[in-house]
Amino acid sequence: MSKSAKFDRADVVEKATKLYWEKGFHGTSMRNLQDVVDMRPGSIYAAFGNKENLFKEALQHYAKVSFFRLSACKKASSSPLEALRTFVKSILIDTAESAPSGMCMLVKSVAELTVENAELLSESKRLLSLIESEFAAIFKEAIEQGEISASKDPKHLAQYLQIQIMGVRTYAGAHDDALAIEALIDDIFDSSVVRG
Amino acid sequence: MSKSAKFDRADVVEKATKLYWEKGFHGTSMRNLQDVVDMRPGSIYAAFGNKENLFKEALQHYAKVSFFRLSACKKASSSPLEALRTFVKSILIDTAESAPSGMCMLVKSVAELTVENAELLSESKRLLSLIESEFAAIFKEAIEQGEISASKDPKHLAQYLQIQIMGVRTYAGAHDDALAIEALIDDIFDSSVVRG
DNA sequence: GTTATTATTGAACGTCCGTTCATGGCTTTG
DNA sequence: CAAAGCCATGAACGGACGTTCAATAATAAC
């Protein structure tokens, strides 16, 4: 009947995500993308529509990977709270070495996008909210298992954790010298917000 | 001898800052700037050199305004710690209404810029460090006046405050619904990091 | 082997980018 | 009033942008 696509879509999205993550939406040109994914413009446009759509897929891929990491931390940990701690450690430390940017791609997107790319902006926000919901679910487990006081509100804790991660990653991104990340993570989980 | 410049340089920088703050470096075109400052390209280039240089002046102007605000809070407050609290309140609340963006312009710049604009990136980082130093100086006063335990390290407290401000502003920028900002500010200043 | 169908190619398009510069106008000095 | 010197102007430049599309190559079905 026909011919099937030669390129590996997942691989292309992965590479596009890395580039967008590093350079941002406006800072990345279609020609940059053509180079890293090794495709000609016609093929890219046939497969992904346009620059915005490809960015949207990159955002979703990024979020998906984050969920996988969090899920892996849950499986590898003996308690909900420890899972979160492991997750935070992994994004604050691993990321700083191998990732295209020390900062969260979703946060970078919210920072750079305006109403001129309304859909990408709202998608970034939506995905951040999704992650926060997952944090809340894990905090809820921690409360049910007695790891955290039952007087705490899982949603409030999840919001607190998001703020802390955003803060530390942004701060780390703004400093060239190495930080005492471990101590900052201790600050987060020993905070009166969590333990009080 | 000659003719003196007609335009008000301070006013132009102010307007350019607002635009850059809102749309970012890559998201702002020279034609956008020409419109908002009401100058023709030749005049802008004669006065500011190029797009990068004008952005640099915008960053410095932004930081200067931040310092003025902090200084004003010090004068209006009865103690160092209260001054910081007032300052944080002002940037988290006032800013969300009238400012071009809820997020800090320096943070947005660190988020979007790469090594391709190395000088702008390092200038953004430098200005953030300058602000952190000012925080540290105020925390030092708070310790000397007994408002905070003498066992605390002003530099560590300043770092903590930067992280919290970055976190909350970024979080607020990522949510369309109104937040309980006051409660978050209480979390910051009641934290064991400050009060423990 | 032929045909039908689809993927890939890359030149080319129109637009916008950052930037320059010859021109003309204004202001100050003598 | 004339001369000198700076400033403002905006058309124009080369190049990069996102995107399109006719031509070509590759596959699958018969």
Residue-wise pLDDT for A107-123, tens only, equals 999 999 999 999 999 99
Residue A182 lies in a domain: yes
Query: What three-state secondary structure class fits A158?
Result: helix
Kindly tell me if the per-residue pLDDT of B149 is higher than 60. yes
Nearest residue in A to B104, CA atom:
A111
Kindly tell me if the per-residue pLDDT of A154 is higher than 90. yes
- Rounded to the nearest angstrom, the minimum Cα separation between B58 and chain A is 17
Confidence class for position B2, pLDDT limits 50, 70, 90? low
Buried b (16+ CB within 10 A) or exposed e, A76-105: ebeebbbbbbbbbeebbeebbeeeebbbbb
How far apart, in Å, are the Cα atoms of A113 and each of A24, A49, A55, A116, A117? Answer: 9, 20, 12, 7, 6
Q: Name the residues in B1-40 having a C-beta closer than 7 Å to nucleic acid strand D.
A: 1-7, 39-40
Burial of B6 (0-12, 13-18, 19+ CB in 10 A): exposed
Q: Which of A119, A171, A182, A189 to mutate to test the interface with B (most CBs of B within 10 A)?
A: A171
The answer to whether the beta carbon of residue A39 comes closer than 7 angstroms to any atom of strand C is yes
Residues of A in contact with B176 (CB under 8 A): 125
Residue A1 lies in a domain: no
Is A74 within 8 Å of A138 (Cβ atoms)?
yes
Residue A189 lies in a domain: yes
For CA atoms A149, A152, A154, A160, the dihedral sign is negative
Quote the domain boundaries for residue A19. 9-195
d(CA A104, CA A95): 9
Residue-wise pLDDT for A62-118, tens only, equals 999 999 999 999 999 999 999 999 999 999 987 767 899 999 999 999 999 999 999
Residue A112 lies in a domain: yes
Residue A46 lies in a domain: yes
**Chain-wide mean pLDDT for chain A?**
95
Kindly tell me if the per-residue pLDDT of A5 is higher than 90. no
Residue B172 lies in a domain: yes
Residue A2 lies in a domain: no
- How many domains is chain A built from? 1
Measuring alpha carbon to C1', the residue closest to nucleotide D28 is A1
Residue B83 lies in a domain: yes
Q: Which CATH number characterizes residue A115's domain?
A: 1.10.357.10
Kindly tell me if the per-residue pLDDT of A61 is higher than 90. yes
Kindly tell me if the per-residue pLDDT of A1 is higher than 70. no
Residue-wise pLDDT for B159-189, tens only, equals 999 999 999 999 999 998 888 999 999 999 9
The answer to whether the beta carbon of residue B51 comes closer than 7 angstroms to any atom of strand C is yes
